[in-house]
Amino acid sequence: MLLLFASGRRFYRRPLKYTNIIEPIRTTTESIPTIRLCDKNGEPLAPLPADLSEPGKLKEIYKNMLLLAGMDKLLYEAQRQGRISFYMTSSGEEATHFGSAHALHPEDPIYAQYRETGVLLTRGFSLQQMLHQMTGNCMDLGKGRQMPVHYGSAALNIQTISSPLGTQLPQAVGFAYRLKLQQKPNVPICYFGEGAASEGDFHAALNMASTLKTPVIFFCRNNGLAISTPDHEQYAGDGIAARGPAYGITTFRVDGNDLWAVYSVTKMAREMALSQNTPILIEAITHRIGHHSTSDDSSAYRQLDSQK
């Protein structure tokens, strides 16, 4: 059924359902399922992706995970000593980095926040270049104009990270629309935390992507804390994934600590976005451990830590 509005020739696209029962729509108690290919002990629950199972590739991923952990420890302590002004760690979230990054094409644009260092390592951004950026020396690609951890590389298709939360979301949609018009076989991926999903830019980006049918992947790593604000203080619904269908966006929820599942979901999301010219939302449920941010832990954060 098409509904013609009096103020202009606009049609409601979906058939309307009518009822004579007066009752509100309530929040469902059912949660969107979380995709997992391995159990908590690492035992496979389903066939694992063969293209990620090559011994050389797994060894490279594990090596980079250890490199990232060592880098986090070193630079977090350097920040606490006042040697650099700012640093954000990624401890515990490594599978979201390397699982998603290995599912991308080298020419797929990356819009990161500041906890996606593993994605940059996978793309080829060197540790030395990160240290140049961190210290803002003459070898820094940004010539010292950015805060630490705000990496960027035109050669590697990595858009420069911005400090304000969420600004990369509508930017990624714009880039995706350009690629669509140019008919290029690439998909921008936009990383953000669940804290950034509380910004207005999140909703604007999802609405633009849905209505413009842009091939873009929104990748949310939900660790339940943002920087120091627990998720129950940010939203009351079923996480971030529940917002995707409301905007008409195909959505996945995945175990962000399962490398295999993150890789498989991101690979499928990329194929769907490219073949169908459609945005995809991925919510990766993960946990950050160890050091958290440059700010002192809040009482709410310490309370959550004690419950884990």
Report yes or no: 223 and 231 within 8 Å, Cβ to Cβ: no
One-letter amino acid of 136: G
Q: Within its chain, how far is the Cα of 255 from the centroid?
A: 13
Residues with catalytic roles? 77, 163, 292-293
Q: Give the separation between CA 192 and CA 199, rounded to whole angstroms.
A: 11
The number of CA neighbours under 13 Å toward the Cβ of 283 is 24
**DSSP-based three-state secondary structure for 252:** strand
Furthest-apart CA atoms within the chain: distance in Å: 71
**CA torsion, ordered 263, 71, 305, 287, to nearest 10 deg:** 0
Q: 147 CB contacts (<8 Å, ≥6 apart)?
A: 85, 86, 163
CB 212 within 8 A of CB 181: no
DSSP 90: -
